[in-house]
Amino acid sequence: MSEITVVLPATEMNQLSHELRRLTREILKAQPRRRLWTGMGGADGYGVEMDTPVFTMHPHDENPVCNCGAADSEEEKPCAETCPFGWPNFKHKPSGFAVHWHKWIGRSMEVVGAPPTEMGAMIDECISSLVQVTP
Ligand SMILES: [Zn+2]
């Protein structure tokens, strides 16, 4: 499967960052024990490790370890999406829309796939799915 990286206008990137931080706050409200650490990105600036039927979120990992074998492979191949080396920091499963960031939300952010018309509605859907996960 080939991935298409889309460059969003700055205003849309800002809105996306805002929505991803809102999602982070809602996850932490529902599951406070998942809080990592805070720094320059703020309490809601890094994302939280989370997987629901609707979305996955992974904070930036400074030293990701490949678990799919691609890093040790003789041939050049990209890591699987389930591998810490290759996974996006956020993925909306129904649409496939995904976001990569560096260290904190908003920094060197890249999106994969077309963004939803209503980013707020997508994040609302993600928030609604939190009840399906046991803390
Ligand atoms: Zn890998």
| Amino acid code (one letter) for 92 | H
Please give the pLDDT value at position 80. 87
Helices (H), the chain: 10-30, 119-128
The whole domain housing 119 covers 18-31+40-61+89-132
Does residue 9 lie within any of the structural domains? no
- Residues whose CB is under 5 A from ligand 1 (ion)? 66, 68, 70, 79, 83, 85
Comparison of pLDDT for 18 and 80, the residue scoring more: 18
pLDDT of residue 40 exceeding 90, the answer is: no
Cα-to-centroid distance, 70 and ligand 1 (Å): 5
DSSP for 44-75? TSS---EE-SSEEE----SS----SSGGG-SS
Does residue 122 lie within any of the structural domains? yes
Determine the Cα–Cα distance for residues 49 and 36; give it in Å rounded to an integer: 9
Give percent above pLDDT 90 in the chain.
57
Cα-to-centroid distance, 75 and ligand 1 (Å): 13
Does residue 110 lie within any of the structural domains? yes
pTM of the model: 0.87
Cα-to-centroid distance, 49 and ligand 1 (Å): 18
Does residue 7 lie within any of the structural domains? no
Please give the pLDDT value at position 10. 84
The three-state secondary structure class of 24 is: helix
| Spacing of C-alpha 12 from chain mean position | 16
* pLDDT interval class at 2 (50, 70, 90): low
